A and B are shown apart, each in its own frame.
Chain A
Amino acid sequence: MEAQLRLRPLSLFTLLLLSLLSTSSSSHLLNVINAERRIDLTSHIVKVFLTLKVENTGTIAASEILLAFPPNEVDHLALVKAAAATGKRKKKTYVPLDVNPTEQPDAPNGTKYLAISLVKPLGAGETVTLEVLYILAHSLEPFPAEISQSESQLVYYSDSAIILSPYHIKQQTTFIKTPSAKIESFSRVEPTNRAGTEIKYGPYEDHSSHSFSPIIIHFENNNPFAVVEDLVQEVEISHWGSIQITEHYKLAHAGARHKGVFSRVEYQSKPSISGVSSFKNLLARLPPRAHSVYYRDEIGNISSSHFRSDKIKSELEIEPRYPLFGGWKATFVIGYKLPLQDFLFESPDGRRYLNFSFGCPLVETVADKLTVKVALPEGSKDPSVEVPFPVEQRLETKYSYLDVVGRTVVVLEKKNVVPDHNSYFQVYYTFKPIFMLAEPLMLVSAFFLFFVASVAYLHIDPSIRK
């Protein structure tokens, strides 16, 4: 019942769009010949693979191709990657392309656009095949919003059966994959087929630009809805040979809220039907050769974790103190050390740079907010950052062991980070190796002064009587 009520504004929206279509004029005469969309709903992170075959039917060469998103979807957009495919089947090669948000003056109903910049402009009559991957966080809405321990978790996913696009699409198909065959309901926009865990919408022929046809799918998803609400990653570089990483997590289960009783006896004796949507362990993929790992929280060490490390990868399996049910939270800290030579390099111009991955190490987890703080060694100058995507930046000062002037800290902040973000960023700075000796020299002089003072004390007789 509620689902239908919810559908109504969306259909109104469609009507509006359709009415707008007649007036809108497309800037480029681009056409999509064939579009295929695969939506992966198997975890709580929605992954969409979009294959577009675009033809330029106009006369001017087009250098940009636009992707359109409804305004509510844009807020959940965590990552967009695009690549142009060239070559035939087996010899296909992909050229990664830049994607940037743009504004269009005639955007109907607040539609947002992302522009894919082509490497070479698409001439008249030419075609190009684009592969687009975009990831949506927080796009599955639990319904019912509160479940008890014995119930499994059902969620809504709403989208459009027809791909929202500023271009005319000749032919399109959408495949939606659900984690299990248990689908409560799904909207039908004929032709619609369902086979096991897959729903197929389409093929649809000849839809004009900005077509929209809302669908809603209600299905079971018991995957851990692990969300890191806030992650602060501190990277401290020591030129004595190691990098210390400290990660502060605020973890939450963002699925359907737990309601009523938590019964340990049921949780222990019937693990298959009790608390199926809860999770009790997580996997963190750490950089290779990580060592001195610890896992603790405000009140002490958490003893339930396993660490496997080799030269290719390090994996840390952690268990929060208690299983996380919907709405429950846990905070913890993970720390580890990395060998310096794996991450710190010298650039040709003599500056040093740290090459480190930007992202949350927990597998299958969304980080709502990620703050990376890179503490450069004391005495380093002119920090500059290279990040492959837009982030907020600022500088801070931090005092660690035996620091006098403090360390420069480069702070990077980004919202909505998903695991596929594991791309690298670089922090450049200049550093004179002589500063490495500052702290040992301080210690040496302090001890020296202490001994001098003791010797002096032993040789001086301060008494007045004589």
Chain B
Amino acid sequence: MVVGNAESMKSDLLSSLSIRWIKLKTKQQEVLIRVSILCLVYILAFISRLFSVLRYESMIHEFDPYFNYRTTLFLTQKGFYEFWNWFDSESWYPLGRIIGGTLYPGLMVTAALLYWSLRFLRFAVHIREVCVLTAPFFASNTTLVAYFFGKEIWDSGAGLVAAALIAICPGYISRSVAGSYDNEGVAIFALLLTFYLFVRAVNTGSLAWALASAFGYFYMVSAWGGYVFIINLIPLYVLVLLLTGRYSMRLYVAYNSMYVLGMLLAMQIRFVGFQHVQSGEHMAAMGVFFLMQVFYLLDWVKHLLSDTKLFQAFLRVTVTCAVGVGVIALGVGTASGYISPWTGRFYSLLDPTYAKDHIPIIASVSEHQPTAWSSFMFDFHILLFLFPAGLYFCFKRLSDATIFIVMYGLTSMYFAGVMVRLILVATPAVCLISAIAVSATIKNLTYLLRTKRKVSQTGSTEGINGAKASSKALLDRSQPFQKNSAIALLFGAFYLLSKYATHCNWVTSEAYSSPSIVLAARGAHGDRVIFDDYREAYFWLRQNTPQDAKVMSWWDYGYQITAMGNRTVIVDNNTWNNTHIATVGRAMSSYEDEAYEIMRSLDVDYVLVVFGGVTGYSSDDINKFLWMVRIGGGVFPVIKEPHYLVNGEYRVDKGASPKMLNCLMYKLSYYRFGELMTEYGKPPGYDRARGVEIGNKDVKLEYLEEAFTTSNWIVRIYKVKPPNNRW
């Protein structure tokens, strides 16, 4: 009896619970679903970036991240003040580099803080793991910001879609996979956060949000040089609002407090310093700031003056004066040199051909090339078609917030077209605008479906009555058609979105998860072959060369050599001194005896070259060689590009120019390569990367000797011999 009672009680409890569950208010249900979707998206954004760890290992990727890792290690070991005052003598020998004053410390400080707090909570993690997972962690946080941003500019549905889209968008994943420990990983989060907070501040007119936005800006400035985009886009946006007559007190509060505080905070970063008041790139923000004050003044005067004519005259005088004063100030500032002109990098953004003609060192980097259509398709997939649709919806419901996202989308799309790497900046905007399109479309379609059902229900319950009935029948006849098309469209949308998901998944796992330090290829039997030559060479340098050895290589490998090889390099990826890089380029493109003089003057002990002739690895030094010639020739006119070409053609076989066949780079790459059989059925000395038999098989070295070559010949290290005794 008692048992039965207990059981019935239990079932009662259960039923009451389930009833309660069902009887959750719609709003509560919505909150629950929304929070769980956000949690899932948060986790998804993190784990989809772990492909690289699964495929390879938990390691730092590519080039710049190695510098960031090295500095983070220094920061965690020696503390902040040592880091801030760090003079690095291991790079740019013999010049050295003031690390604290020439880097954006945001990333390192973030990782170190994460590390210290984990350590404080007694998680015995290694700093490398923290660095590897920083980018995925911030990508997850970005999805949250995207949700709130979407909610701010459209509705929470759009926010959810935006979060889901940005979580797996290849354009963003390419820079934020686990191990890609670069500034961008943190900076995109900071960028979107700043924009969101600013839009929020404009929408509310609240000082608190503007303040938060200033701090977001400060974090962005500390993390990435791309902050220039913010400091130009926001004034531009404000200007557009002013011109379209959307000036309001909210805007005034938001912009002024954000600009002034953000500027003061940004000055605390040593690398940025006084640029906000001294550099041409930041002048637009200042100009808009003063313009705001003029507007405010005019508004106030208009309020005081009742006479429209008088106000018109006053307006004319004030605007002329203001513009005149502004132009004179700018002119005097520029002429006296107080305001520095625009930098080459900035110019190359406005004029894509500028870098090619004037700054070969910028043009030589593959990620600074103009973007091809295919890579837009690769990185955005369906978002590329949803983006215009989203723009349409935005224009249909124009508000301060949608104007912002439209401007952000259009400008960043332009920059993405100029440089491949700036696709990253466009990605959040594209995701947000596409999310508006998706959300609005699906909302409309489901609305259609739902209302239909209600109408048909009411239609069936109501009586059948003459004319009324006939009109109902008419409606009913059109309903199935509309309903079906809505269902079809919905299915189409889901199909497209699922295609997007599979595409993102595939791109992430196949294209963007390679660390580029370790190369993987398919073997003859379909098995995976790993080429770990880079680390082999760097570790050899670390273990078997004198502690103070100086290594000369092309600047691409500088960061890796200092971080993994722990040896001093002549030039590295910082590229702050063009002449120094040109000297290395000159040494590489000279004859051996001339190069020896240069290397002696630079105290070089070892020369490192990357060579893909055995494995068919195409991004090696021979393929980069023309850029060395160009950069070298840009400073030293002795080096002339036509000397290395035959009829404008770059070749390494028998038909190559004599200068090419005997320059240092050629000799170091192909030393004793002529004896090696690389491919069956081909003569010895067959270069698999370029598919030709090399032209100079009998390479003799007089001033250098082979010190180490990795197992697949990808990295070759030569020792510079000491000078001969004269007697």
Interface residues of A (CB under 8 A from B): 260-265, 269, 297-304, 321-322, 327-331, 399-404
Contacts and interface: CB of A to CB of B under 8 A. Distances in A.
B374 interface: no
8 contacts: A261-B707, A262-B708, A264-B708, A300-B59, A302-B532, A322-B708, A329-B543, A401-B124
Contact of A260 (B530, B535, B705): B705
B536 interface: yes
Contact of B543 (A261, A300, A328): A328
A251 B707 CA distance: 20
B710 A322 contact: yes
Contact of A402 (B123, B517, B706): B123
B672 A321 contact: no
Nearest to B544: A328
B122 interface: yes
Q: What are the 6 A-B residue pairs with the smallest beta carbon separation, nearest first?
A: A264-B709, A301-B57, A321-B536, A299-B564, A329-B543, A300-B59
Nearest to B119: A399
Interface residues of chain B: helix, strand, loop or mixed (majority): mixed
Contacts of B713: 264
Contacts of A264: 706, 708-711, 713
A401 B539 contact: no
Contacts of A331: 543
Contacts of B707: 261-262
Contacts of A263: 672, 706, 709
A257 to B, nearest CB: 11
B174 to A, nearest CB: 22
A137 B28 CA distance: 76
Nearest to A328: B544
Given A264-B708, A301-B59, 12 more contacts: A261-B707, A262-B707, A262-B708, A263-B672, A264-B710, A265-B672, A265-B676, A265-B709, A300-B517, A303-B532, A322-B711, A403-B122
Contact of B540 (A303, A321, A401): A321
A261 B719 CA distance: 9
B679 interface: no
Contact of A401 (B122, B530, B532, B706): B122
Nearest to B564: A299
B538 interface: yes
Contacts of B708: 262, 264, 322
A129 B25 CA distance: 95
Contact of A265 (B124, B539, B675, B705): B675
A329 B59 contact: no
A263 B535 CA distance: 19
Contact of B532 (A321, A327, A404): A321
A263 B675 CA distance: 12
A11 to B, nearest CB: 40
A273 to B, nearest CB: 16
B705 A261 contact: yes
A321 B706 contact: no
Nearest to A327: B544
Contacts of A298: 542
A302 B57 CA distance: 10
Given A322-B536, A400-B124, A402-B123, A303 B543 contact: no
Contacts of B705: 260-261
Contacts of A399: 122, 124
A189 B117 CA distance: 72
A299 B124 contact: no
Interface residues of chain A: helix, strand, loop or mixed (majority): loop
A441 to B, nearest CB: 14
A54 B709 CA distance: 58
A300 B534 CA distance: 12
Given A262-B709, A264-B713, A321-B532, A402 B539 contact: no
Nearest to B719: A261
Contacts of B539: 297, 299, 321-322, 330
B219 to A, nearest CB: 25
A379 B229 CA distance: 56
Contacts of B706: 261-264
A264 B713 CA distance: 8
A298 B542 CA distance: 10
Given A329-B543, A329-B544, A399-B122, A321 B675 contact: no
Interface string B404-440: 0000000000000000000000000000000000000
B423 to A, nearest CB: 29
Contacts of B675: 265, 269
Interface string B536-555: 10111011100000000000
B710 A299 contact: no
Contact of A299 (B122, B535, B672, B676): B535
A396 to B, nearest CB: 15
A13 to B, nearest CB: 38
A371 to B, nearest CB: 20
Interface string B661-694: 0000000000011011000000000000000000
A260 B711 CA distance: 19
Contacts of B122: 399, 401-404
A404 B532 CA distance: 40
A264 B613 CA distance: 14
A402 B124 CA distance: 8
Give the residue among A269, A298, A303, A322 with the most B Cβ atoms within 10 A: A322
Contacts of A300: 57, 59, 517-518, 535
B181 to A, nearest CB: 14
A264 B540 CA distance: 14
B465 to A, nearest CB: 53
Interface string B701-720: 00001111111010000000
Contacts of A302: 532
Contacts of B532: 302-304, 321
A127 to B, nearest CB: 55
A330 B543 contact: yes
Nearest to A329: B543
Interface in B120-152: 122-124
Nearest to A325: B544
A277 to B, nearest CB: 16
B126 to A, nearest CB: 11
Contacts of A261: 705-707
Interface in B41-77: 57, 59
Nearest to B566: A298
Contacts of A303: 518, 530, 532
A69 B710 CA distance: 46
B535 A321 contact: yes
Nearest to B122: A402
A75 to B, nearest CB: 27
A275 to B, nearest CB: 12
B537 to A, nearest CB: 8
Nearest to B713: A264
B123 A401 contact: yes
Interface in B482-534: 517-518, 530, 532
Nearest to A332: B539
Nearest to A294: B57
B563 to A, nearest CB: 8
A404 B535 CA distance: 38
Nearest to A280: B711
A402 B120 CA distance: 10
Nearest to A398: B124
Nearest to B531: A303
Nearest to A323: B711
B206 to A, nearest CB: 13
A400 B125 CA distance: 9
Contacts of B544: 327-329
A299 B709 contact: no
A261 to B, nearest CB: 5
Nearest to A250: B543
A201 B518 CA distance: 56
A99 to B, nearest CB: 38
B403 to A, nearest CB: 30
B538 A299 contact: yes
Contacts of B530: 303
